[in-house]
Amino acid sequence: MRYHWNQGSLEVARNKVMRLLKQEKDPVKRDFYSKTIDAINQNIFLEYYKYEYKAKPFMNRVVDAANGQVGYNRFVNVICDIQSQVSKVYDEISDVASREDILAGMNPELFSFKRYTHDETVELTRKFYNGFDRELAKKFMKVYSDRYNSIKYVPNQKRNIFDTFDLSGYCVGIGGIGKNFMSIGNYEGIYKVGCTVHECGHAIKNLIVPEKTVSDGVDFIGEVESIFPEMIFYHEMGKDIDPFQSAYHMFGYSMIYYESASNVIFQKLIIDKWLQNNCKFDKSVYDSLKEDYNMTRSDVRESIGIDVTDEGPYVISFAIVMELLNLYKKDKDKALYLYKKLISIPPTEDPLVTLLKYENDLCGFEHLATEYSEISQEYKKQLIRKM
Ligand SMILES: [Zn+2]
């Protein structure tokens, strides 16, 4: 069997949703089905990232991010915290390997990655979810039984896996009919399995909360569902397969989030100034940014291009995942209980507001520094061993 879906599979899915729409009387469900059909018609699958992240007007999303999300400011503080903590770790590791070396895939000789076949990859993913949690494993089996029609592995064009994160795969759920479409980079090494674990995290969430699969808003905690299992995979399974690769991928993550956190902080400065000026991006906004932060017009333009809603979900989700990881090492059941709560938030609730209810259980994000430092120490240890 081939892991493959194509335009034909999408049309079959769309026709199924159309039939549901015809029979449906409830206006909320009708709206959900219509949005799903629109999304398929606009070919979100071919140009998913362009459509979702680039084509919408930037300013509307800034307003949503700054005004609509109650917990937003709280999280910007958390992000500032991540940035300063990671920068310490970052400095510490630079005596072992340069940033360029790490991002360029290190010395290729260090990376004699085993190539996993598609079947081996999906089997390792199954094995992982089986050991991870019983309830989630049941949901995973729905994805698994449809694996040949919902997963495809695509050749990767990128220079290295950390070029741009999560472009390494995507998962789009057609909630109304419980169907997922995943496209995953055909990488060497356990990163292929890690990516599959990640995308299946999205797919499982789509099955748990189907109404959320096609939504307009930015979900700032929407990567918890995928990054948490992925990190646990590298933390536990990766060590059995290849400790160096598992340490490398965890460290790669921490570097990426360090850089993203910086971008998000930069954006927040602009949003604040813009709100102070009654949402007008006129000369006075530029002038005050220049005066207070020494930002030039091109700095501002560049930072706007980065877009807080692109990177925000990854940075915030990663902060939450680090706390969950810390909890998982001490109390697996509690960590899994919290994780399942966070991935089951109904679309009627603001995820950030719900998250704040569990802030105490997540220890107010006090463990970021410890987790980061453990991750980078482990990487350093494995790197030296390998050399
Ligand atoms: Zn993701």
Q: For 180, phi and psi rounded to 5 degrees?
A: -125, 145
Q: In what order do the strands lie in the sheet with 151-154?
A: 151-154, 179-185, 169-174
What's the pLDDT score for residue 338?
A: 94
What's the pLDDT score for residue 309?
A: 63
* Cα–ligand 1 centroid distance for 166 (angstroms): 6
Which tens digits make up the pLDDT trace of 275-288?
Answer: 778 777 778 888 88
What's the pLDDT score for residue 183?
A: 87
* Cα–ligand 1 centroid distance for 306 (angstroms): 18
* Cα–ligand 1 centroid distance for 195 (angstroms): 9
* Cα–ligand 1 centroid distance for 383 (angstroms): 27
Query: Does residue 44 have a pLDDT over 60?
Result: no
3-state secondary structure at position 369: helix
What's the pLDDT score for residue 242?
A: 86
Distance between CA atoms of 238 and 249, rounded to whole angstroms?
A: 10
Distance between CA atoms of 162 and 121, rounded to whole angstroms?
A: 20
* Cα–ligand 1 centroid distance for 360 (angstroms): 26
Which tens digits make up the pLDDT trace of 151-209?
Answer: 999 876 554 555 544 457 888 888 889 999 998 888 888 889 999 999 999 999 999 99
* Cα–ligand 1 centroid distance for 214 (angstroms): 15
* Cα–ligand 1 centroid distance for 227 (angstroms): 7
Query: Does residue 343 have a pLDDT over 80?
Result: yes
* Cα–ligand 1 centroid distance for 223 (angstroms): 5
The mean pLDDT value for 120-149 works out to 96
The mean pLDDT value for 72-85 works out to 66
Which has more confidence, 331 or 161?
A: 331
Hey, what amino acid is at 101?
D
* Cα–ligand 1 centroid distance for 290 (angstroms): 35
Which has more confidence, 107 or 342?
A: 342
Mean per-residue pLDDT over the chain, rounded? 79
For the domain made up of 7-386, give the CATH fold. Answer: Neurolysin; domain 3 (1.10.1370)
For residues 58-90, one letter each, b for 16 or more C-beta atoms within 10 angstroms of the residue's C-beta and e for the rest, the string is eeebbeebbeebebbebbbebbebbbebbeebb
* Cα–ligand 1 centroid distance for 49 (angstroms): 12
* Cα–ligand 1 centroid distance for 386 (angstroms): 30
pLDDT band, very low/low/confident/very high, at 213 (cuts 50, 70, 90): low
Q: pTM score, two decimals?
A: 0.85
